[in-house]
Each structure stands twice: as structure tokens, then as C-alpha cells.
Amino acid sequence: MKKIINPWTHREGYDCFGCCQDNPIGVRMTFMEDGDDVVSFWKPGEHYQGWINTLHGGIIATLMDETAGWVVFRKLQTSGMTTHLDVHYRKAVMTTEPQLEIRGHIAERKRNLVFVDVVLKNSSGEVCCEGRVTYFCMNGDKAREMGFESCDVEE
């Protein structure tokens, strides 16, 4: 596995709730490339709960949506936006988990739409949530206009 370099880190105004390491209320995700997959290992905290010790469903959706975006950044070398997010909550995710694994890969592509399958597992490896994210991909010129240049991995 190789760590993916965040291409937005030094961009003025960057404060993404999902991946900005300096956002004090964000989830501060980082990503790794593992073959065809993009993976994030994330530790939940009590401030992200819905019910006592239970991770809020909206935070789960955020983790899955952010992972899908990073699949597009890394694997397709472009930017875009989510147009549809379908999450199946299979098992409660506890905020007391030492680590979650969120893993996504491209399942299908139709013109400028990409369908990314994402799975969230608890620290025991149990699948807690599955989803499919439909992502609209910008062409290269539009992505560069929006500030995206490339998404590389560390050597």
C-alpha cells in the first residue's frame, strides 16, 4: 500500500470536512492506494455519535462519499462531484471502535459518470455498511480550472 498525497493541502481556502488535516471539526481522513482500491483507516470519536457510542449515519455517509471522491482523484486523475449516494447500513458502527476501514473502487463507468463501490468495515473486519456512489467527472480542462492538477502517491 502507498500513501496518497493530498493535492489540496497547500491550496488557499482548502478546508474540506472530509480530508483537511487542519479542519478542527472535520473527520481528517487520509488515503492509501491498494491495487485497484483506495483505502482509509479512520478512528471514530465520541463527538461523531448519533446515539450513545454509535456512529452517526451521516458521518458514515460522509466517510463513504469522501472515499469515493478519492477513488476518482487517484484512479482517474480528475475531479468532480457526487450526484448520488446509496448507503446500506448493515450493522451499527460503534464510536468505541479502535479503527474503521473504508475501501472503494471503480465498479462501472458510463461516459462522464463513474460508479464507485464502497465498503465500511469495523475493526473485526465485519462489513457494517456498503454503498455505491455515482460521481460526475469533470473533463481535464474543467478539473484544472477548479484547481486539480494530479493525485500522486508517496514513493
Structure-block grid coordinates of residue 23: 479542519
d(CA 16, CA 23): 7
pLDDT in tens, the chain (155 residues): 999 999 999 888 999 999 999 999 999 999 999 999 999 999 998 999 999 999 999 999 999 999 999 999 999 999 999 999 999 999 999 999 999 999 999 999 999 999 999 999 999 999 999 999 999 999 988 988 888 889 999 98
Distance (Å, rounded) from C-alpha 5 to C-alpha 151? 7
Q: Which of 57, 65, 59 is nearest to 135 (CA)?
A: 65
Question: CA 70 to CA 38: how far, in whole Å?
Answer: 7
Query: Which residue carries 452517526 as its cell?
Result: 56
The distance from CA 4 to its chain's CA centroid, rounded to whole angstroms, is: 12
